[in-house]
Structure formats: C-alpha cells, structure tokens
Chain A
Amino acid sequence: MNRLQQLFQKQQKDLLSIYYTAGYPNLGDTLKIAETLEQNGANFLEIGFPYSDPVADGPVIQASSKQALDGGMTLHLLFEQLKDLRQKVTIPILLMGYVNVVLQYGVEEFCKKCREVGVDGCIIPDLPMYEYEELYQPVFEKYELSNIFLVTPQTSEERIRKIDALSNAFIYLVSSSATTGSNLALSTQSSDYFKRIADMELKNPFMIGFGISDKATYDSANKYASGAIIGSAFVKNLKQDDLEGSIKEFMVQFSV
C-alpha cells in the first residue's frame, strides 16, 4: 500500500491537497514548497510537471507552466530535484501532467522513477481510460502507483462506476465544467452533483477540485467529499521573494 492509500485508510474527512507547478516561481523551489506545505498542514500534494500546451488549465497554471519551462524545467530535472524527497517530506505526493511528456520519457521509466523518489501516484488528465487499462495499469501496479481519474458533472453514471472500479486511492471530482482556476462559486447545481456522487456509494472516497480557492469553498466541498484540492489560488499567491511567508500566509486560513 502506498502513502496515499494509507492516508485514505486512516482519514476520509477534511483533507486538504495543494497543487503547484514544479519549477515555479524559481526553478529550484520544488522541494522547498513541498516541505513548507507539509509544515503548514497540507495532507498531500500534487506536483505539476509543466507542458507547453496544457488544455485543461486556466490562465494561472498556464502562466506558471510557461515560466517554469522558460526557466529550464524538464521531467528529468524534476526527478533529480525529488531525489531527496523522502528525507524531507512524509506526506503523499502525486505528479500531475500531460501524457505527451510521459510518453517521451517512457512509461516504464517514468513509473520506475516515481517509485524510486517516493511518488505515490499520478494524475494525467489526457490519458484515455482504455489506454490506461491496456498499457499503463500493469506498470502502475508494478511500481505501486495510484492513478487518479477525473469525474465531471457531465460524466455518465456508467463511466463513473468504471472509474471507481479502476481506482485504488480516490476519485477527483471536478466541481464544474471548467478549466482550472475558474471563479465559479459552488452553486446549488454543484451541490446536487456532489450529492448524486455521494449517493452512488462508490468504493473510493472522492476529493473535490477546480474552483476551490479559500476556506469558504474548502468548507463547502468538505460537506460532501473527503476533502478538497486547491491549485490556481495557491499558485497565484506564491511570492518569488518571500516563498515561505507567502505559503504560510495562504495556509493559515485552513488551520483550525
């Protein structure tokens, strides 16, 4: 069982996960941000490896990805930066990025590296489910990685059941049909959708992401889910000249 699965076995309420882009704001900040986030209460992390054409992302993640790439971030470099990850960080870590970058690195090699540095799973939004089943699943299992699937308000019940069967940690509920970082307040429509998913009694817990930006949206997501994922709002708040300070300042709202 990987760290992520262990976490969900222990706790299925009020979890807070933070996404950030590797190599942003400075190329060398990746590990420092992870450490600081753990110290300030994050339960697990998603580290984004940047891609030139991130279609599922809004302006904030696009800009951070571009800055990271311009600064020289690559997947090779990210694994290098994460070499000492497990001496410094104990919470579960997911890598998040687009399929072409993984393909060029090599699927087997990518998974092997994830395992080596202590990554627990991946979110690859443009990896098709059929391809995961045929080509990725055996490799993911070999290296004890969890694959995290997304579900949206338009995903059919049949497909959600299938995603549930293929998942072994949690399911990522996209709060509304939007790219990341949209400012849509969680509406009655979204609470109907969260309730509908909760009533399906899936075997996997779920986390809500996209549009979660502060304590209020985090709390409302927590009413229905095991927790929430914050990305754009966190990335937007990072300050190049006061990295630790800006992280603490952002995280303090979530400490009780």
Chain B
Amino acid sequence: MNYFVDERGYYGDFGGAYIPEMLYPNVEELRQQYQRIIDDEQFKKEFKALLKDYVGRPSPLYLAKRLSEKYGANIFLKREDLNHTGAHKINNTIGQILLAEKLGKKRIIAETGAGQHGVATATVCALRGLECVVYMGEVDIKRQAPNVARMKMLGAKVVAATSGSKTLKDATNEAMRDWINNPVDTHYIIGSVVGPHPYPDMVAQFQSIISFETKKQLKEQTGNELPDYVLACVGGGSNAMGMFYHFIDDQSVRLIAVEAAGRGVDSGFSAATTTLGKEGVLHGSRSILMQTEDGQVVEPHSVSAGLDYPGIGPQHAHLFKTGRGKYVSITDDESLNAGLLLTQYEGIIPAIESAHALAYLEKMEFKGGENVVVCLSGRGDKDMETYMKYFNL
C-alpha cells in the first residue's frame, strides 16, 4: 500500500487539484517546481540552518515521568510548543518562504484561524522582508485579538473575511480569491496539509522534521527508534502529518489522530470530520468533509480554533479509509481537563489543540512499558482566556 502522494497528485481516492482555471498557472508552477527546490542542496542548507538557529530545533523529546506513572506507559512529549512563535506552524512557513523566494515571488498571502499560522507567516515575512497579507475571519479577529496585534506588529496587513460564517474556511476562500486576483507576484502559504496538490505533500514534507527528529531521539533515549503509538490532534492535520510522516511505512507503529468532537459528535456543534463527514471536494482537493446532502459545507465547532475546520487533508482521508490510522475524537470538556492535567503533572500549559491528543491517553489501555509519543503541537499562552473562563482561574 502506498500512503504517499502519487504522480497524479492523489492519495488513493483523495487529493488532486480542484481549482478554477484562474488558479491553474500558479498551482501548476508550484507542482512543477516544488520537489526540485526542496531537494536542492542550497535550499536544504538554508532550511536546516533557519530551523536550527531561528526556530530552535531540534525540539526536545521529553519523557513525561509523572504522566507516564499515571497511565502506566512511557509517555514522550514532542515539544513543538518550544519552537519560536509557540507551535509547529513555523516549520512550514520557513520552508514555504524560502520556496517563494526561489520562485521569485514578492508578496505573501495566508489564511489563519486562531492566528497561529498567521503569526508564523507574518514572522517569516518580517525575517525575509516580504510583503504579507493575512486573511482572518471577522469572528476570529474578535476572539483572537492578541494574535491580530502580533501580526500587525510584525508588519502584516490583517484583512477580515466577512463572507459566509466569517471563520477559517472563509478566510481560506478569501486567500484563494486574492491569489486569483494576483496571479503573478504572489505566493499563497497554506498553513495545513490541505488545498490542491502539491500543497498537502509540500506542507507534510516541511512538517516531517517532527517525526524525523523523534525517531533519532527515541533511538537515543530507548534504544528503539520505533514507538508503539504516536498521537496527534487533527484539524486540517499538519502537526499530525509531521508526527506520522516517518512512521507511516512502519506498520508496527500505531498512528492515532484525534479530532475535535466539540460539544459531542451528535450535538450539532462538532468538528469530528471522519465521523460526521463524507467524501467530497473542499479548498481544491478531494477529501472527507462535513457537508449537507446538497454538498454545502457545514460550519464546524470546537473550543480550539485550530481544530475548527470542516475537512481534513487528503492524506489523512487516505490513512483513515485504508485503516492505517485510527481517527478518534475528544470533546471540548475532555480537552480542557487534559490541558489542566498536563499543567499540574508536568508544569507545561498546552495549546487546547494539543490537549485533545493528550486527552485520548485517558481512553487507551496499556499493558505497561509501551512507548507512546504525543505531539505537543503548541503552547497554551494563546488559550489562557479560555482556560481562565472554564476553570474560574
């Protein structure tokens, strides 16, 4: 079974490039160039150097002792929260900004939900001196004011998406419309493993540093580079794909992707895409998405803005359909409690997104001695207001 992208840009039944003709030349240019650029020695050198000296990689793989005692397994945390800007998102934006430069692009656009990808994009644009426009849903702008301020301070222009539900999917639509209207000088940095081919593959490759390092670190710490389980949360699915990437072909490693159940999968306020969704096309690729009978995209809900997306990346859809990955979901309440638990057991306040992955540990049964890696994709600073309200802090 091939779990990676094929020559046509598909993962089994999923992927492809479902885009209007106006986007075709841009996406086609990227398709023809991306692998050559990524494999170029000079590019690799620059990418590696920035990840090391600017992002602070490798991120630690930390054996959480008290958590391990509680669950009866060796729980390792891959500390993407310690990256510059506080999450895994920067791995991708560093890669894409270098790629945009090689393509001769002068202007960068991005979409953002909670603002993490927007901040990571604004950061690399400041670093390289490129113009930056970030599209963000009007609703999200109101609920994520600190990140809006960070982007502005970094020199980005933040444009409110006022169409549709005024959240992440609408911000993505607006970014695509901007790209249609600026077909020559602009590169669109998509923040997750979604979008038309080659985006899902390109973003996965940039994020694959997560599992690449994990393998080495596990080998050093346990003598075995392969864990029994890896867990990660999934919105579009970029940290999960980074966490899974180098383990996908090792069938002994069980891949667990944790989606946001919101207030419960049957509540009508959920983002559990694989449970509630059907096959279809969203934002340029064939995947699984939450939609009505008529094919209209349904508005998702999650307490964590980063998981509040009605689809998943096409490679995830393929891992789900083939059974290679196990896709589960965790409610708002469960995730917030898991966030508090990690804070009090290990002194680490996680992003609510990452807390979804942690919450699933509670539902697993261990024989004892298994090695489990959880991707701690981001830190909880941005979520303090939500934690404060929920726990009356």
Interface residues of A (CB under 8 A from B): 51-56, 58-59, 62, 66, 69, 74-76, 98-105, 125-128, 130-131, 149-152, 154-156, 159, 174, 177-179, 182
Check B177–A58 contact: CB distance below 8 A: yes
Check A52–B180 contact: CB distance below 8 A: no
Check B21–A155 contact: CB distance below 8 A: yes
| Bound: A95/B105 CA distance, A | 37
Check A51–B295 contact: CB distance below 8 A: yes
Instruction: Give the chain B neighbours of A102 by CB distance below 8 A.
Output: 295
- Is B19 part of the contact surface with A, judged by Cβ < 8 Å? yes
How far does the Cβ of B165 sit from chain A's closest Cβ, in whole Å? 9
- Is B115 part of the contact surface with A, judged by Cβ < 8 Å? no
Instruction: Give the chain A neighbours of B173 by CB distance below 8 A.
Output: 53-55
Check A53–B295 contact: CB distance below 8 A: no
Given contacts A103-B280, A125-B21, A177-B180, contact A53 B294 (CB under 8 A): no
How far does the Cβ of B16 sit from chain A's closest Cβ, in whole Å? 6
How far does the Cβ of B310 sit from chain A's closest Cβ, in whole Å? 9
Contact with A along B55-75 (1 / 0, CB 8 A): 000000000000000000000
Given contacts A76-B294, A179-B180, contact A53 B169 (CB under 8 A): yes
Check B297–A149 contact: CB distance below 8 A: no
Check B22–A99 contact: CB distance below 8 A: no
Write the chain B residue with the least CB distance to A102.
Answer: B295
Instruction: Give the chain B neighbours of A156 by CB distance below 8 A.
Output: 25
User: Which of A51, A53, A102 is the most central at the interface, judged by chain B CB atoms within 10 Å of its CB?
Assistant: A53
- Is B293 part of the contact surface with A, judged by Cβ < 8 Å? yes
Check A131–B281 contact: CB distance below 8 A: no
- Is B24 part of the contact surface with A, judged by Cβ < 8 Å? yes
Check B297–A179 contact: CB distance below 8 A: no
Interface residues of B (CB under 8 A from A): 8, 16-22, 24-25, 163-164, 169-170, 173, 176-177, 180-184, 278-284, 291, 293-297
Check A55–B281 contact: CB distance below 8 A: no
Instruction: Give the chain A neighbours of B181 by CB distance below 8 A.
Output: 177-179, 182
Check A104–B294 contact: CB distance below 8 A: yes
Check A103–B295 contact: CB distance below 8 A: yes
Check B295–A100 contact: CB distance below 8 A: yes
Given contacts A53-B173, A99-B281, A100-B291, contact A177 B22 (CB under 8 A): yes
Given contacts A66-B164, A104-B280, contact A126 B18 (CB under 8 A): yes
| Bound: A190/B279 CA distance, A | 39
Write 15 A-B pairs (CB below 8 A) sorted by A numbering.
A51-B295, A52-B164, A53-B282, A55-B283, A62-B164, A99-B18, A103-B280, A103-B281, A126-B284, A149-B21, A150-B22, A152-B24, A152-B183, A154-B25, A155-B25
Write the chain B residue with the least CB distance to A101.
Answer: B295
Contact of A131 among B16, B21, B24, B291 (CB under 8 A): B16
Contact of A53 among B17, B20, B24, B164 (CB under 8 A): B164
Check A100–B281 contact: CB distance below 8 A: yes
| Bound: A74/B176 CA distance, A | 25
Check B183–A154 contact: CB distance below 8 A: yes
Contact of B291 among A59, A62, A104, A178 (CB under 8 A): A104
Check A150–B294 contact: CB distance below 8 A: no
How far does the Cβ of B113 sit from chain A's closest Cβ, in whole Å? 15
In the complex, besides A53-B282, A131-B18, 20 extra interface pairs with C-beta distance below 8 angstroms are A55-B173, A55-B177, A55-B180, A58-B177, A62-B164, A66-B163, A76-B294, A100-B281, A100-B282, A101-B296, A104-B280, A104-B293, A126-B284, A131-B16, A152-B25, A154-B24, A155-B25, A174-B22, A177-B183, A178-B22
